[in-house]
Amino acid sequence: MEVVQLLFEGVWAALQPLNLGLAFLGVVIGLFVGAMPGLGSVNGVAILLPFTFVIQQVTGSVSSPMIFLAAIYYGAMYGGAISSITLGIPGASTAVATTFDGRPMALQGNADRALVIAAVASFVGGTISNILFTGAAPLLASVALRFGNPEVFALMLLAFATFVGLGGDDIPKTIVSICFGLIMSAVGFDIISGAPRLLLFDSTEWFSRGIQFLVLAIGVYGIGEMLWTIRSSRNTIKMTSAQISMKRIVRALLWFRSCWKGTLIGSFLGFFVGILPAAGATPGALMAYGVTKMVSPRRRHFGSGEVDGIAAPESANNAASTGAMLPMMTLGIPGSPTTAVLLAGMVIWGLQPGPLLFTDNPEFVWPLIGSFYISNVIAVVVNLACIPLFLRVLRMPFSILSSLIFVLSVVGTYAAYQNMYDVWLMMFFGIGAFLLRILDYPLAPAVLAIVLGPIAEPTLRQSLLLSDGSWMIFIERPIAGPITICAIILLLLPLAGLLWRLRRRA
């Protein structure tokens, strides 16, 4: 009961004109940085951190600057979907999974539906995880602590398994694609011994930085997708131009009913992955996509414009962004790059993030939690209201749109790390992705692998160090065990299915 009262006071504080104005401003800025390829919430938050010192001096409150930054974080989660759907370039790393189905849907002339579903799913995901956060933050923090290296690795294994086990795609090709992504994620320095790995052309300067995930994602979905559209349509551009009318948008809202399953899976899974330190919103969204695809009866349609394929990652990335606040606030450990910046802000505002934050600084915590709810409402309203504007992009002839995609891909890649090497690499991946696509290789698994590889590898090696090399550590531990077994069953399912079919035929 006390929680309800504290929450009520928090929401009330967040509704004060100044805080409301900051939340609105933050959401709008977030939508913009999220929609710009190459810029994500981390850039927005890092660039505007100095501004929060001004806010703090003016308002004298520690929660107002944080409300502002958290609103940017949320806004960016909504914004990422916009360019993923309308241009096919992931606006932020968190929105990569949204391109899998959002882009095909837009090409079929249903971009409005995709955008509405993305916005509403984001809202539902954000709200569900806010409720979980409010009700059970300390409890969930202790769950996060139970997840050691073997548990996290088991979870990563499960994520890979969802992409292999029940996919409608060609399984050997999926595995090849995963392996490719894993190899790409291994370029750079060995995480434990520090030895350089896969330094091609003997160029430490180039490869010591490793291959950034966003470079691969923009290459595959920006350039690769553009080439594919050009090839498949040749001279006759058959892309249906999107229609704009409020009536269609309202009708799309009704469509949302058909993707409640993806939304729920995305919300809970996203939140859970978000609270594990080291993960964050990008793996959360990819895993939600994989799991939703696995349990859906329409899994064969995934990748060609399935509503659940948009709802799951979009609800998950919002849920995960709230989730990632949890280890940051209760354990003092950031779960994502953006929360690392937020953590730095909290230290300079004079707070000690950690197990005692909730008891020592209720005047900070509750208005912030209240603002999570408010920012979410603002974000969904602003987003829905702007959809007709976003759709104008799609009315451009493809000959113009494709050059826009090209320019944004190059600029976005450069903007992210200010390095020309990334731009060349991105082009290489784009052309490579196009060729692999002609050969019918699924590329989403490669993207998944380059995101999860850097999490899976250290946890695997640390676990094996712990167990003196025994693989049983993944089976024997009470939490890791069931997860590992599920993952192995999923991996073996296609084999079992094959045997079953052979027997029936015999």
Q: Which residues bind other proteins (CB under 8 A)?
A: 46-47, 49-50, 53, 144-149, 188-196, 204-205, 208-210, 277-278, 327, 331-334, 337, 340-341, 343-345, 347-348, 352-356, 458, 462, 465-466, 468
Of 146 and 395, nearer to other proteins (C-beta) is: 146
Of 165 and 277, nearer to other proteins (C-beta) is: 277
Find the shortest distance in angstroms from Cβ 347 to other proteins: 6
Of 16 and 467, nearer to other proteins (C-beta) is: 467
Of 278 and 382, nearer to other proteins (C-beta) is: 278
Short-list 83, 108, 101, CA closest to 404: 83
Greatest distance between any 2 Cα atoms in the chain? 79
What is the separation of C-alpha 321 from the centre of its chain, rounded to a whole number of angstroms?
9
Find the shortest distance in angstroms from Cβ 353 to other proteins: 7
Find the shortest distance in angstroms from Cβ 136 to other proteins: 17
Find the shortest distance in angstroms from Cβ 278 to other proteins: 7
Short-list 72, 12, 1, CA closest to 363: 12
Find the shortest distance in angstroms from Cβ 179 to other proteins: 21
Of 144 and 408, nearer to other proteins (C-beta) is: 144
CB atoms within 10 A of CB 233: 13
Find the shortest distance in angstroms from Cβ 151 to other proteins: 9
Three-state DSSP state, 306: coil
Short-list 459, 468, 453, 471, CA closest to 198: 453
Question: What is the distance between the alpha carbons of residues 57 and 65, in angstroms, rounded to a whole number?
Answer: 10
Of 248 and 461, nearer to other proteins (C-beta) is: 461
57-69: b (≥16 Cβ within 10 Å) or e: eebebbbbbbbbb
Residues in the chain: 506
Q: Is 230 exposed, middle or buried (0-12, 13-18, 19+ CB in 10 A)?
A: middle
Find the shortest distance in angstroms from Cβ 91 to other proteins: 21
Q: DSSP letter at 349?
A: T
Find the shortest distance in angstroms from Cβ 62 to other proteins: 14
Of 53 and 260, nearer to other proteins (C-beta) is: 53
Residue 32 near residue 79, CB atoms below 8 Å? yes
Short-list 437, 440, 442, CA closest to 229: 437
Of 351 and 490, nearer to other proteins (C-beta) is: 351
| Backbone φ and ψ of 196, nearest 5° | -70, 140
